[in-house]
Amino acid sequence: MKTRASEHGNQSRGERIRGRVSVERGLNSNLLDDPRDTTTPEAMIATMQKILIGNALPSEAREILIGWLKNCRSGLRRLRAGLPQAWVIGDKRGTGPRGAANDIAVAWPPRRPPLLIASYVSDSGAAPDALDAAHARIGGIVAAAFS
């Protein structure tokens, strides 16, 4: 059983971990105003920076994780759909109740340092295809800014 422990927040923002607050199925509940669900795209980018670019993991573990992200195929219609095919991309999407549709990605444009992208949508009544398309448009905006 996986658990998440926190004191009303996200460890990546330097908040203390204190006690178990939810079990695996509860981690994806996305309850309105739940003080346990306080992460932001900014906090995710900071965590990704440490794990995927920095030295928080040993190099072998970091390369395994990056390989998993590069080989992930569940998010092909989200951020990846808006990014150029010439870029090397690794991503992981998440989908949950109350219109939650998220995607994080690390992208390597040719001859540029890696880019970290976090795109979160919640409380949407849009259809899943529309949410995927919104993420793809965000990927397109990133591509236009960094191409």
HEC secondary structure over the chain:
CCEEECCCCCHHHCCCCCCEEEEHHHHCCCCCCCCCCCCCHHHHHHHHHHHHHCCCCCHHHHHHHHHHHHHCCCCCCCHHHHCCCCCEEEEEEEEECCCEEEEEEEEECCCCCCEEEEEEECCCCCCHHHHHHHHHHHHHHHHHHHC
HEC secondary structure over 51-83:
HHHCCCCCHHHHHHHHHHHHHCCCCCCCHHHHC
Domain ranges of the chain: 1-39, 40-146
Of residues 128 and 7, more confidence is placed in 128
Tens of pLDDT, residues 7-47: 334 444 454 444 445 565 566 667 777 776 667 899 999 99
Tens of pLDDT, residues 79-101: 999 999 999 999 999 988 888 89
Please give the Cα distance from 81 to 140 (Å, whole number). Answer: 8
pTM (2 decimals)? 0.80
Q: Is the dihedral of CA 122, 47, 70, 36 positive or negative?
A: negative
The chain-wide mean pLDDT, for the chain, equals 84
- State the pLDDT at residue 32: 75
Query: Is residue 118 a contact partner of residue 104, using CB atoms and an 8 Å limit?
Result: yes
- State the pLDDT at residue 65: 97
Query: Is residue 108 a contact partner of residue 146, using CB atoms and an 8 Å limit?
Result: no
Interacting residues of 80 by C-beta distance below 8 A, sequence separation 6+: 89, 91, 105, 139
- State the pLDDT at residue 21: 54
What is the pLDDT confidence band of residue 53, given thresholds at 50, 70 and 90? very high
- State the pLDDT at residue 28: 64
- What is the CATH topology of the domain spanning 40-146? Beta-lactamase (3.40.710)
- State the pLDDT at residue 22: 57
- State the pLDDT at residue 25: 59
